[in-house]
A and B are shown apart, each in its own frame.
Chain A
Amino acid sequence: MMNIHFFKFASFLYLFGTLAYLAYIFFLKGALSKIAVTIVSIGFASHTLALLTRYVEAGHTPVTNLHESLSFFAWMIIGILLMANLKYKVKVLGSFLTPIALTLMLFAFALPKEIFPLAPVLKSFWHPFHVIFAFLGNAIFTLTFCCGVMYLIQEHQLKSKKMGAITKRLPPLNLLDDLSYQSLKFGFPLLTLGIITGAVWAEYAWGRYWNWDPKETWSLITWLFYAALLHQRLTVGWRGRKAAMMAIVGFLAVLFTFLGVNLLLPGLHTYSNW
């Protein structure tokens, strides 16, 4: 059970990384953000090993139950954070993303962690592609969500003419809007690919491309939502507050598709309940 050890170690480091990031946003000391990045990077490496060892131990892509999905989602989020750190100098991003990843890890931690033999329906060439695309899209939308939250707070501060501790800690509006737009442009095609590969796989597994089970329906709703946001941005020049609010609502749809459907609505995707 090497993978569990790596998983626990990663969770542990994410906890400290989150604390360092929160300390950073509070004290605004550059050293703290460097410490945080280092801790989270080591945590990410350990998490990667956890997934690899689990892959070897299970013999299939380890995204087949809720524990694995949550862990995979968190891994993707941290990966996106580390990548965004390379390109954008928005250090406070970590203060928003790591708590989300940590929460996912804690839920994953509490769930049964045993490896079960793969359900026959999941044995497919398409399965790994489907989950990787879908989760990568979701992880990027998490980033879009955080940008949206930061944007709304910052915009409120500037509109109400308060230039205080909060304004100082959050990035400029244009940067947030840009990052939000860029992430949308990356996230949307990935979500699309996730749905397409899912449909192809469904054709193999169930004999139909589209079954209108709740997971599929909600994915479609989420997809339409982001499509609308992207469309508005490209054509009407929607930006700023409206776009930020839509990014937040869109992420709620993502969460519902991912968790709500599993827990509340029965359907073909039920193997990922626990």
Chain B
Amino acid sequence: MELLVVGLNHNTAPIKIRECLAFPEDKIEDALYKVHILPSVKESMIVSTCNRVEVYAATRETEKAIHDLKDFLSQYHGISLKEFEKSLYTHVGEEAVRHIFRVASSLDSMVLGEPQILGQIKEAYDFSQQVKTSGLILHRLLHRAFHVAKRVRTETKIAISAVSVSSVAVELAEKIFGTLKKKTVLLIGAGEMCELASRYLVSGGVEKILVTNRTYERAVSLAQEFRGEAIPFEDIAQGLKKTDIVISAANSAQYLIGHDQMTKTMKDRKQKPIFFIDIADPRDIEPKVGDIENVYLYNIDDLQKVANENIKDREKEAQRAEAIVQDEVVKFVNWYRSLDVTPTIVALRKKFEEIRKKELEKTLSLHPNLSDKEKKSLEALTSAIINKILHTPITLLKQTNEEAMADLYLDALHALFGLPEKSLETFLEKFEEAEEKEETHLENAL
């Protein structure tokens, strides 16, 4: 069995192509069925997000499967392969394992360490389980991927700090106010940044939004959009008394909020802290306002600086994450290489053990007067002989990385010792039972 992934992401394909090849959520099951009936594909899973479209598969015919999957992408979306083949990447075996581990740990994301991707992968995996296109190999692969993602999250600081201006603003607000519940935000002016930041704050729990604008009608329509309350532009001073966070984007020619005015307002506020985010250019808030006690003033450049520093931190952490991924890839590859040889090893041991038992019984029935101690040493002696004999071939099998060599050894062993036909599937079934325990454990851990 070989693992492979065919896909494209934000690095290899422009958004236009990504959009064309994306699978809407309600089409994924259907698409999975279509992949599943390809004879070359044994197991499959489809990941489709706005930044990536990938098909993961387990196969016995690698080349054919790659070809079939590319055709599938082209036919399903009705686009000729020529148009997007350049954007596609294909990873096979160890590289495919590394790829999914990196994706799940958000090392392959546009924003390094962003947390959504893990949830998206889990969703994709759930789909493949519902329609039963994933089997033991993907099963195990995905559980390991979740495990790796968890390790990366807990053992590195990759996701610990905010890297967008809006999330930095929320993080700062939380460092000032603790919880954002029951807090009020005042939006002065409008704009994309303003909107984004206030959305972040609302999702952080902010209770009330006040909106003001030079033209009152615009304030009212904005207030409707945010389900907030519009206040006239002249009443900003009043608004400042009852808000905790101010986002200002009015690009006013003069300062809207000055030092002296704010000092007075702070008295009215009984010194309750207030957090200003000035994203206007030119600035709306006099910089000296930030010197007033219990006033925290950040402008857009300050926020950007914090975000940039956090990005640098994440890049450093990413290197440590790569080491974790490497470590886990080796573990997984060892496991899945052993899938080929393990059934033979089990069969070989079983055969020798049967012979040993039979012969031992014969000998024991010939000598009924043997003491328990003597019986035990016979038992030990025969076991030791078998173990010594089998040690070298089994070690060799386990250590052979080259597939052709391994196949040669396997065939030879089966012929020489008359072992039953090697059947991975029956072995896998048994294996699956044993694995279930570990998996529930892993799931609990997640």
Contact = CB atoms under 8 A, between A and B. Distances in A.
Interface of A: 154, 158-159, 161, 163-164, 167-168, 171-175, 237-242
B171 interface: yes
A238 B168 CA distance: 28
Contacts of A154: 175
B294 interface: yes
A23 to B, nearest CB: 16
A171 B179 CA distance: 11
Contacts of A238: 271
Interface in B282-338: 290, 293-294, 296, 298, 302, 305-306, 309-310
Contact of B168 (A158, A163, A237, A239): A163
A126 B51 CA distance: 74
A159 to B, nearest CB: 7
Contacts of A174: 176-178, 273
B270 interface: yes
A158 B176 contact: yes
B177 A158 contact: no
B112 interface: no
A172 B175 contact: yes
B370 interface: no
B156 interface: no
A172 B290 contact: no
Given A173-B273, A240-B273, A161 B176 contact: no
A167 B294 contact: no
A173 B177 CA distance: 6
B176 A163 contact: no
Contacts of A158: 172, 175-176, 296
Contacts of B294: 239-241
B160 interface: yes
A241 B293 contact: yes
A158 B296 CA distance: 7
Nearest to B294: A240
B178 A172 contact: yes
A213 B365 CA distance: 101
Nearest to B302: A161
Nearest to B299: A161
Contacts of B305: 161
Given A163-B172, A239-B272, 20 more contacts: A154-B175, A158-B296, A159-B290, A159-B296, A161-B298, A161-B305, A167-B175, A171-B178, A172-B174, A172-B176, A172-B177, A173-B175, A173-B273, A174-B177, A174-B178, A175-B178, A237-B270, A239-B294, A240-B273, A241-B294
A241 B174 CA distance: 18
Contacts, number: 53
Nearest to B162: A163
A166 to B, nearest CB: 11
Contacts of A173: 175-178, 273
A173 B295 CA distance: 12
Contacts of B87: none
B342 interface: no
B263 interface: no
A196 to B, nearest CB: 32
Given A161-B305, A163-B171, A173-B273, A240 B293 contact: yes
B12 interface: no
Interface string B187-201: 000000000000000
A175 B272 CA distance: 13
30 contacts: A154-B175, A158-B172, A158-B176, A158-B296, A161-B305, A161-B306, A163-B168, A163-B171, A163-B172, A163-B306, A168-B161, A172-B175, A172-B176, A172-B177, A172-B178, A173-B176, A173-B177, A173-B273, A174-B177, A174-B273, A175-B178, A237-B270, A237-B271, A237-B272, A238-B271, A240-B271, A240-B273, A240-B293, A240-B294, A242-B293
Which of A163, A173, A174 has the most C-beta atoms of chain B within 10 angstroms of its own C-beta?
Answer: A163
Contacts of B306: 161, 163
Nearest to A175: B178
A171 B160 CA distance: 15
A63 B178 CA distance: 40
A241 B309 CA distance: 27
Nearest to B298: A161
A159 B161 CA distance: 19
Interface string B78-92: 000000000000000
A238 B269 CA distance: 11
Which of A164, A174, A242 has the most C-beta atoms of chain B within 10 angstroms of its own C-beta?
Answer: A174
Contacts of A163: 161, 168, 171-172, 175, 306, 309-310
Contacts of A239: 271-272, 294
A148 to B, nearest CB: 15
Nearest to B296: A158
Nearest to B154: A29
Q: Lowest 5 A-B CB distances belong to which pairs?
A: A237-B270, A172-B178, A175-B178, A163-B306, A174-B178
A171 B310 CA distance: 19
A224 B225 CA distance: 53
A238 B271 CA distance: 7
Nearest to A170: B175
Contacts of A161: 298, 302, 305-306
Interface in B321-376: none
Nearest to B307: A163
A219 to B, nearest CB: 30
Contacts of B309: 163-164
A171 B309 CA distance: 21
A169 B56 CA distance: 41
Interface in B141-185: 160-161, 168, 171-172, 174-178
B202 to A, nearest CB: 19
Nearest to B291: A159
Which of B178, B296, B309 has the most C-beta atoms of chain A within 10 angstroms of its own C-beta?
Answer: B178
A239 B294 CA distance: 9
Contacts of B168: 163
Which of A154, A171, A237, A242 has the most C-beta atoms of chain B within 10 angstroms of its own C-beta?
Answer: A237
Contacts of B176: 158, 172-174
B160 A168 contact: yes
A237 B270 CA distance: 5
Which of A171, A172, A175 has the most C-beta atoms of chain B within 10 angstroms of its own C-beta?
Answer: A172
B270 to A, nearest CB: 3
A92 to B, nearest CB: 13
A237 B178 CA distance: 19
A154 B178 CA distance: 13
